[in-house]
Structure formats: C-alpha cells, structure tokens
Structure 1
Amino acid sequence: MASEEFRLVSPAISNEGKLPRKYTQEGQGAQRDISPPLEWYNVPEGTKSLALVVEDIDAPDPSGPIMPWTAWVVVDIPPTVKGLPEGFSGKEEHTVGIREGHNDYKIPGWRCPKLPRHGHRFQFKLFALDDKPDLGHTVTKERLMEAIEGHVLGESILTAVF
C-alpha cells in the first residue's frame, strides 16, 4: 500500500523539487549552507539505525566524467527519530549517538558544493538498517556503503534540483 511506503521528504523543498539557495553556498548573508530539514515516515519494522547520504549526482569531475559529490553523511540515527531539523548539521547537541560523517570536502557536516551552473540534482538517500554499523572514528560515504551491504531493510530517495 503506497501510504505505508518508507518515505523521505523535506518541508523546505518545493513541489517542483527545488532546493532553496540558503542550503547552498549561494545563500545570502547568514542564510547560507544550512542543512535542510528532513522528515521520514514508515520506517521498516526491525530497523536498528538509519543512515543518510546526500550527493550532487551531476557533479563534474575536472578530468571529465560525472562523479557524484558527497555533500552530507549522517549515521547512527535511532529509528525513533522522525527527522532532522533545519540547521541540524554542525550543532554540538545532536540527538544522542547521531554522528555526521565527512563530505567530499573532507570535513564533517553539510556542505553543498559551489555549482558551476544550476540544474544539478541533489539526491538524499535514507537507509533503514537491521544493525548499527561499526564505522570507526572517521565516517565516509565509502566506508558507510561498504558496512551496510546486506543490512539494508529499506531505502528512500528524495531528489531536489538546484
């Protein structure tokens, strides 16, 4: 039944799927590079933790091919948590146990790349896991993807365009 589907949404992303400027490096004033609010529904039964990966899936590699750019990694999200508020990234007072991994700038937290042109798609992927993966001290998308192989109970994707 569609209403029971594991869903990821953002109240800040319009029905047209537009990612507002304040969540990018093109934001103005203090309203810049803030992590967007996210909400999720119908977490699969048996979920022990959630993990989020956000990528610019249209990022150009200077040498040519399109190479996804990791903007944010969040792990160890308890299944009882129903979302992340706007500006969650970088806050010291994270919900107990939630950790932010390193993005492709090699720093933890949300960092939207400065885009050479508009029209890039940002893919927010939320994974429901049957275990809490052991990721060590430094979390990266690559480390996470390797650790969750065979442990994904559900995946929800939200795509936004900037």
Structure 2
Amino acid sequence: MKTTNFLFVLIALLAISCAQQQEKQTQQTGMVDMKITSSAFVNNGVMPSEFTCDGEDLSPLLSISDVPSNAKSLVLIMDDPDAPVGTWDHWIVFNMPASTKEIPKGTEPDGIAGRNSWGRTGYGGPCPPSGTHRYFFKLYALDTELNLPEGTTKKEIERAMQGYIIAQAQLIGLYKRR
C-alpha cells in the first residue's frame, strides 16, 4: 500500500513538474502550440497527386487552430528544401487575417500573395524532378501586419517578420513523381 501511494505521489509530482516546465518554456520563448493540418494528408505523409503538377495542381485544404489571441496576422509559406537548385518557394501569403481557421481546397486565402519561385503569385504544387521531396507548409502568427506589397519575395517577408513572430506551426507533405 505504501509503495502504491509513493508511486501515485511521484507520478503526480512528475506531471506537475512537466506542466510547469512547459509553461516556463512558453513564457521564455513566447511561443504557443499553434497547429496547421490537412484532411488530405497526414504530417510527413504522401500528398495526393491532385495537389501536384501531375494532377489538378490545386492547393490542399488546410485547417488552422490555436492561433494566439494577440495575433494580428498570419503568414503561410510552402517550400521545398529538397529542390536541386536550393529551396523552391511554392506558395506565399502574408497578412492573412488572424481569425483564419481554414483555407478551402483550391482557393487562395484572404491576405496578400507573395512571389513564388516561378516568379508569380499563387499556389504552385509539387513537381519534383526526381526522388521524394518534402513540402513544408509553415504558418506564422505575427503581432503585426506587414507593410509590404503583393509579389514580395519570401526572403523579404522573412526579414520583415523578424521580431514579430509569436507562434509558428508546420505541416510536411511528401511527393514523388511516378
């Protein structure tokens, strides 16, 4: 009986300690657990071809949750770090409303479109030349809106959002052409 009580107390103290550590880490980094998911594929799962150059080249449905209440805008960046010429930017949108909960399949979200690596705005789906590539959907919550025009590059957006990021999340999709 004493062993059971001791184990119960030990487990309770461990749980409290872990919760306090998580709260302390959140306070130190200022980051909270925001989420970005898709019903089309799981994190680190294969993206269906309808979202690629081999299909309809539609943007996937994305769901957003747990955005901090003090967020003023969101930034979405989809890129491929496995491209042979360096990271390839597929989709960039900034100044999305912080209230955005979902980006429906095949649509552009409210906000300002940045310029992708094809030199245009809007979604450009996966189209890897060879092998399996990773596609990072990176979501940032900012405590400001960015004063940048449509067609701004990812590099310029990343520079402008430094010091204003209050939360971030990512979803990774995989794709290999057949």
Q: Aligned runs of 1:37-116 on 2, under 5 Å?
A: 37-61=61-85, 67-89=86-108, 95=110, 98-116=111-129
- Find 1:121's aligned residue among 134, 141, 152: 134
Q: TM-score scaled by structure 1?
A: 0.83
Return closer, same or farther for 1:118/1:141 CA change in 2, 3 Å cut-off: same
Q: Which consecutive residues of structure 1, in runs of 5 or more, have no partner in the other structure? A: 62-66
Is 2:173 the counterpart of 1:160? yes
Separation of aligned partners in 1, 2:143 and 2:128: 36
- Comparing 6-15 with 152-161, which one deviates more in the overlay? 6-15
Higher radius of gyration, 1 or 2: 2
- For residues 136 and 15 of structure 1, the distance between their equivalents in structure 2, rounded to whole angstroms, comes to 31
Identical columns (%)? 32
Aligned-CA RMSD value: 1.8
TM-score (norm 2): 0.76
Distance, in Å, in 2 between the alignment partners of 1:19 and 1:77 is 24
| Residue in structure 1 matching 2:52, options 10, 18, 24 | 24
The one-letter code matched in structure 1 to 2:60 is P
Report how far residue 101 of structure 1 moved. 1.4
Task: Name the aligned partner's letter for residue 71 of structure 1.
Answer: H
Cα deviation 1:105-148 (Å, max 9, x = unaligned): 00000112521124100000000000001112432211110110
In the alignment, structure 1 residue 12 sits paired with structure 2 residue 40: yes
Query: Residue 16 of structure 2 corresponds to which residue in structure 1?
Result: none
Q: In structure 2, the residue corresponding to 1:159 is in which secondary structure?
A: strand
Structure 1 counterpart SS, 2:39? coil
What are the superposed Cα offsets for residues 1-37 of structure 1, whole Å, 9 maximum, x if unpaired?
79x721110111146611111111011xxxx111111
Misfit runs of 4+, over 3 Å: none
Q: Equivalent residues in 2 for 1:128-147 (5 A)?
A: 128-147=141-160
SS in structure 2 opposite 1:72?
A: strand
Q: CA deviation at 1:71?
A: 0.2
In 2, Cα distance between equivalents of 1:150 and 1:16:
29
